């Protein structure tokens, strides 16, 4: 059984994320791509009630703390008129593959918790339904990114060590520069969260803070 913990709160997330970033950059030389908001897209993964509703068995206690930052960043991207993609994890009997073997249950179209939370304005972005951890797997995401001239992606959402890390690696393999905010994703434990950051910092993504990305996007609009 996975032990869940609320390692991020709205009061602690800023300080704790800065400390996590310090730890990561101490252990690995963080690859710092030059962030170019006008060449980037925002990927928001699986912000569904299944993971964010406290009544769900899959609830992520720290997820509450990342919502406001993702809302602000998505709004900044809308203002800049840069693409925002919202992934929604949905499984059927025909597409679940190993998900059905690994997990006790699946997020089906009939589940009352399959919807993305209303805090996020999905109608202003593009919804991409996926069936596996990787948001690129058997979806039009890569084609849509190329069609809008995207060379960089900023990745937020849940869970850090499953869909977020897998999609970040997949984006890297497809030639995109990946920016992964410490305080833009959440999962069940700090141990899992930190492990993903260490893995990605070593060879796949620039580990950053939401504030720095948000400031850059807002600055690009002001300029």
Q: What is the pLDDT of residues 50-94, one digit of tens each?
A: 999 999 999 999 999 999 999 999 999 999 999 999 999 999 989
Measure the CA–CA gap between 124 and 146, rounded to whole angstroms.
19
In the CATH scheme, what architecture does the domain 36-222 have?
A: 3-Layer(aba) Sandwich (3.40)
The pLDDT tens digits of the residues spanning 172-196 come to: 999 999 999 999 999 999 999 999 9
Strand, coil or helix: 109: coil
Does the pLDDT of residue 16 top 90, yes or no?
A: yes
Counting every residue, how long is the chain?
Answer: 223
Given pLDDT bands bounded at 50, 70 and 90, which one contains residue 27? confident
pLDDT at 118: 98
pLDDT at 1: 61
Instruction: Please report, for the chain, the start and end positions of each structural domain, with discontinuous segments joined by +.
Output: 36-222
Give pTM, 2 decimals.
Answer: 0.96
Share of the chain above pLDDT 70, in %: 97
Measure the CA–CA gap between 190 and 170, rounded to whole angstroms.
23
pLDDT at 28: 66
- Evaluate whether 40 touches 176 at the Cβ level (below 8 Å): no
pLDDT at 106: 92
pLDDT at 159: 98
Measure the CA–CA gap between 42 and 167, rounded to whole angstroms.
13
- Evaluate whether 78 touches 142 at the Cβ level (below 8 Å): no
The pLDDT tens digits of the residues spanning 31-45 come to: 667 999 999 999 999
């Amino acid at each position: 059984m996975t032990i869940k913990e609320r390692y991020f709160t709205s009061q602690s997330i800023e300080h704790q994320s800065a400390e996590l970033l310090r730890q990561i950059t101490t252990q690995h030389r963080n690859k710092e791509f030059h962030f170019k908001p006008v060449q980037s897209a925002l990927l928001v993964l699986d912000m569904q009630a299944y993971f964010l509703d406290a009544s769900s068995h899959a609830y992520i206690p720290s997820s509450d703390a990342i919502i406001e930052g993702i809302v602000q960043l998505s709004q900044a991207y809308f203002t800049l008129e840069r693409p925002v993609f919202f992934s929604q994890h949905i499984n059927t009997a025909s597409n679940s593959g190993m998900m059905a073997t690994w997990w006790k249950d699946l997020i089906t179209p009939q589940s009352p918790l399959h919807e993305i939370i209303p805090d996020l304005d999905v109608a202003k972005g593009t919804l991409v339904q996926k069936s596996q951890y990787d948001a690129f797997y058997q979806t039009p995401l890569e084609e849509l990114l190329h069609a809008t001239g995207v060379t960089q992606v900023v990745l937020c959402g849940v869970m850090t060590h499953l869909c977020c890390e897998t999609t970040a690696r997949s984006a890297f393999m497809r030639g995109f520069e990946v920016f992964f905010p410490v305080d833009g994703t959440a999962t069940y434990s700090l141990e899992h969260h930190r492990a993903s950051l260490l893995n990605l910092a070593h060879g796949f993504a620039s580990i950053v803070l939401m504030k720095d990305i948000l400031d850059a996007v807002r600055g690009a609009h002001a300029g």
